[in-house]
Structure 1
Amino acid sequence: MINAYRADGSLETLSASPGQADDAQDFVWIDLLNPSAAEDAFVEALLGIEVPTRDELKDIEPSSRLYTVGNAIFMTSSLVWRVESGEPALTDVAFILAGDTLLTVRYAEPKAFHLFVTSLGRRSGDLDSGLAVLSRLLETIADRTAEVLEAAVAGLDELSREIFRNRGKRRPPQFLENRLADIADQHRLVTKVRDSLGSLSRMLTFLRNLPALKQDRACADLCRTVAHDVETLSEHAAFIAGNISFLLDASLGLINVEQNAIIKIFSIASVVFLPPTLVASIYGMNFHFMPELDWQLGYPLALLAMLLSAVIPFFFFRWKGWL
């Protein structure tokens, strides 16, 4: 799909037909979403550049992600998407400046793009070039990343309350184990966000060193602000990762405490019932000459000895505070 936007924010969906090429010269932003080979060829003929393929977007070498070819500037960054679905992932998006036109190539739909398109009508006066569109789009991506981190913080706060709330009361056996799975989900989300922020930081560093950006004072100031925001978000993400590590250690510690409490109960029970077992074992032997066998009160005395040998250790443990 080819979505093209003019400086006034109006949208036009293009088809890969030669007749539309002459009408597409005044677009400031062309967005390729899951493009076909014909659409790639159409845009290549329109802008005079080579559109990177899906496999090329996955290259991790800096020389394959940030480079210039003639007057065209090629940048690739990884963005987080599918956050709301609970299965966050990274998708690689190409940002290409070809003259006064920004070309984006993507094979997913990060929410930041939807938010930016929604706000185009309010920002139409500021989007008079591809560089201005790129600066505002990066600002929206940074804002969206901040929202994701805020949601992660809220999720971790709720997890913390669940883990430490009513910890003295009996909880289902699998309660803490399930919280470990929730912590793993939050860790996966924050890891994706940190990877995305690192990619954005490298892209902004490359972008800010371009002569074209230095000549545009407004875009340069906006990119500097976005770069500062990305750096701040990276530090915040590192702080959140530290909180996740704390919750993981705390959960594992509480699981050990509960397991030790269960083992303690069995240990005390075995110690309490050991003396009665010893008494019963002695008088269960089949020796013929045992003086107690002729006692008239031997049986009740044996039961009493077994009871006392169980009760005395129990109260001793209570006195020591082990129960």
Structure 2
Amino acid sequence: MIRSIINNHATLSIAQGLPQPEHDHEVVWLEVNAPTVEESANLQQRFGIETAPKNSSVIEDGHFLYMRSKLLALDASGTPHFGGVTFVLGEQVVAILCDDAHFRPFDVALQRLRRKPANTQSPKAILLVLLQMANDGADAVIDRIADELERSTEEISEISDGYNSNGKELGVPDLIETMRALNDKEELISLCIEAQLSLARTVRYLSSEVDNTTEADLQGLVNELTADVAGVKEHAYFEHEKVRYLQNAVTNILNIKQNQIVKVFTIITAVFLPPTLVGTFYGMNFAVMPELSWEHGFIYSMGLTLSAAVLPLVYIKRKGWLR
């Protein structure tokens, strides 16, 4: 699928597919998603753009500079989507090649280009806007992750206390579910970092294409974008460290709760083991058992059993093992 953005007398318009050949010189941006064989042939014939996968992240064929990058953006439903994109920079046109027909992180780019017509003066300026949008998309994903981590922090605190705000008892299954969610967030943040690293490389190659003398204003904007990409990357690293901290916290709480469970069973065993031993003695068939003929033999045996249970419990409590 191809979308063509046409600049006709400083007015931008979208055409589905390629325009008529006589309007090729008016095309400033081509968005290509999962092209068919026929569409790839037309792009090669009319614009000289190769859609075949490249073996390297950056390739220059004399007419175009191909820069492969990984991008992360929120789709229409607000779900993070990770995909590969190849930016193609030429003297007259910019193209975006993507094998995923559903990955469209630049749907609102036309609005930004229309708001500032100066951004359409050259392919480099258009590419700058597209890279800015890619960086903004990654920033939005990281901000969303940061909000979710704040909620995860509150959940971990509630699980540590044992009850949530509604009074529901929380335990080990809730911790396991929280850990699973944190693992998903860690993977997503790792994708954010990967996307920012590849985006920084693309911005660096764009900077090398800009002439510092004749395009000083554009170079200044590229330098600002370089700093913005680095800032978003640092934000991703910070959130990644936060996820690791929360994972360690959950692991520690899980270990404490499991130790508490083992402690309870240990105390129960320690309390009931002596009465069991007393009961075992009286279950033996000795020839002489004087307690059987005592008037209060039954009360004696019950008192002995109760004492055997209470004394270990008193000892455990004085040692502070119940805390």
> Is the structural similarity TM-score above 0.5?
yes
The one-letter code of the counterpart of 2:13 is L
- CA apart distance, 1:213: 6.9
Q: In 2, Cα distance between the equivalents of 1:4 and 1:27?
A: 7
Structure 1 segment 104-253 matched on structure 2, within 5 A:
104-108=96-100, 109-110=102-103, 112-165=105-158, 167-169=160-162, 170-210=169-209, 212=211, 215-253=214-252
Hey, what does 2:314 align to over in structure 1? 315
Query: After superposition, what is the alpha-carbon deviation per residue over 1:174-223, rounded to whole angstroms, capped at 9, x for unaligned?
Result: 10010011101111110111111111111122221225576422222111
The one-letter code of the counterpart of 1:104 is I
Task: Answer whether contact 1:76 1:93 (CA < 8 A) is retained.
Answer: yes
Hey, what does 1:36 align to over in structure 2? 36
Match of 2:292, SS state, is helix
The one-letter code of the counterpart of 1:134 is L
Match of 1:209, SS state, is helix
Hey, what does 2:166 align to over in structure 1? none
- CA apart distance, 1:121: 2.3
Q: CA distance change for structure 1 residues 12 and 132 in 2, over 3 Å: closer, same or farther?
A: same
Q: In 2, Cα distance between the equivalents of 1:86 and 1:282?
A: 70
Superposition CA RMSD, Å: 2.2
1:279 is aligned to 2:278: yes
Please identify, of 160-169 and 2-11, the stretch whose mean Cα deviation from structure 2 is larger: 2-11
The one-letter code of the counterpart of 2:245 is F
Task: Answer whether contact 2:196 2:229 (CA < 8 A) is retained.
Answer: yes
- CA apart distance, 1:119: 2.6
Hey, what does 2:15 align to over in structure 1? 13
Hey, what does 2:289 align to over in structure 1? 290
Q: In 2, Cα distance between the equivalents of 1:166 and 1:194?
A: 30
- CA apart distance, 1:86: 8.5
Query: After superposition, what is the alpha-carbon deviation per residue over 1:130-162, rounded to whole angstroms, capped at 9, x for unaligned?
Result: 111001111111111111111111111110110
Hey, what does 2:23 align to over in structure 1? 23
Hey, what does 2:165 align to over in structure 1? none
- CA apart distance, 1:164: 1.1
The one-letter code of the counterpart of 2:123 is G
Q: CA distance change for structure 1 residues 128 and 86 in 2, over 3 Å: closer, same or farther?
A: closer
Instruction: Calculate percent identity across the aligned residue pairs.
Output: 26
Match of 1:5, SS state, is strand
Hey, what does 1:4 align to over in structure 2? 4
Q: In 2, Cα distance between the equivalents of 1:244 and 1:26?
A: 48
Please identify, of 211-220 and 276-285, the stretch whose mean Cα deviation from structure 2 is larger: 211-220
1:98 is aligned to 2:90: yes
Q: In 1, Cα distance between the equivalents of 2:297 and 2:14?
A: 103
TM-score after normalising by structure 2: 0.89
- CA apart distance, 1:27: 1.6
Please identify, of 72-81 and 188-197, the stretch whose mean Cα deviation from structure 2 is larger: 72-81
Q: In 2, Cα distance between the equivalents of 1:214 and 1:104?
A: 28
The one-letter code of the counterpart of 2:40 is D
For structure 1, the 5+ residue unaligned runs are none
- CA apart distance, 1:81: 4.1
